[in-house]
Amino acid sequence: MDMVVHNKTEQDFSYDHMMMIEGKALSLGNSFTTKAILIGVLGTLCAMCFVLYPIKLLSNQLSYWSLFATFALVAISMKCSMDTEIMRKKRWLRAHHILFELLIPLNMLVTAVYWTLLREPVVASCEGNQVWILHSTTIHLAPIIASVLHFAVTDIVVKASHSLTLLPVAFVYLCYNFYVTKTTGVPVYWFLDWQDHYSLIIGLSLTLGCVLFFCIMSCFTKIIRRLRYSKSSKTKLH
């Protein structure tokens, strides 16, 4: 069984292709219907954000980076599930795998920071408007829920060595956050005001936390794959 798992590629869409060929793509709860629903929900939220907020605000906050990137991930994943020749299209596969690996720690970071540090001031800024509170809640729940559901219907694993790709991403965002805060005089996040060295320490700590979580997820996704193929092998034997 370990031989089967280790010989698999980092991502495999052959089961989706088989379901499509057999005419089972529209059955409830499978990869296709799950991804279609996620695309609809995430796409609607993205459109609402572009209508409600200026581009500058959307580019400043990591929450919106997370939302838009998650939508792109699920859309690319649907493309991979539908294309029976996808294993020959390395650029699509690379884009899918990179986004998947980046969004696991990013969505977890955004969700954790929002619900522990930002939720109270954000709700206060809504001044009791339940529609805006619901909107903020949805924006900060949808990406992480979509990531979990996407993983549940996608055969993919995380490579621990790829955690190093988080470092340049974090560097770019922290530099951008520093620039926006200094040029506008208003911190994007209250805990990153860049008035002293603590902002840098917080930024580095969050980055290292994401790298650690990435490595944990690498082990978790490999365990899940073994369980999937173990169950599949037992089903075939019966």
Phi, psi angles (nearest 5°) of residue 190: -60, -25
Q: What is the pLDDT of residues 160-203, one digit of tens each?
A: 888 888 899 899 999 999 999 999 999 988 899 999 999 999 99
Take residue 9 and report the two structure tokens written for it. Answer: 């590629």
Please state, in angstroms and rounded to a whole number, the distance separating the CA atoms of residues 50 and 32. 27
Q: Residue 232: pLDDT band by 50, 70, 90 thresholds? A: low
pLDDT in tens, 24-58: 877 777 889 999 999 999 999 999 999 988 998 88
Model confidence pLDDT, tens digit, residues 64-76: 999 999 999 999 9
**Which of 75, 101, 125, 71 is CA-nearest to residue 11?**
101
**Number of compact structural domains in the chain:** 1
121 residue type, one letter? P
CA distances from 121 to 63, 66, 89, 128, 210 (A): 15, 20, 46, 12, 24
Instruction: Inform me whether the pLDDT recorded for 233 exceeds 70.
Output: no
Categorize the per-residue pLDDT at 229 as very low, low, confident or very high, splitting at 50, 70 and 90: low
Amino acid at 97: H
Q: Check if the beta carbon of residue 227 is closer than 8 Å to that of residue 2.
A: no
Structure tokens at 84: 């029976």
The pTM for the full model equals 0.81
Give me the domain span that covers residue 156: 2-237
Closest listed residue to residue 111, CA positions, set 68, 140, 145: 140
Helix axes 130-152, 90-113, angle to 10 degrees: 140
Residue 6 — very low, low, confident or very high, per pLDDT cuts 50/70/90?
very low
156 DSSP assignment: E
Residue 4's pLDDT is 37
Q: Please, what is the average pLDDT of the chain?
A: 87
CB contact at 8 A, 92 and 86: yes
Cα–Cα distance measured from residue 151 to residue 148, given in angstroms and rounded to the nearest whole number: 5
In the chain, the percentage of residues whose pLDDT exceeds 90 is 49
Q: What is the pLDDT of residues 72-89, one digit of tens each?
A: 999 999 999 999 999 889
Contact 109, 209 (CB under 8 A): yes
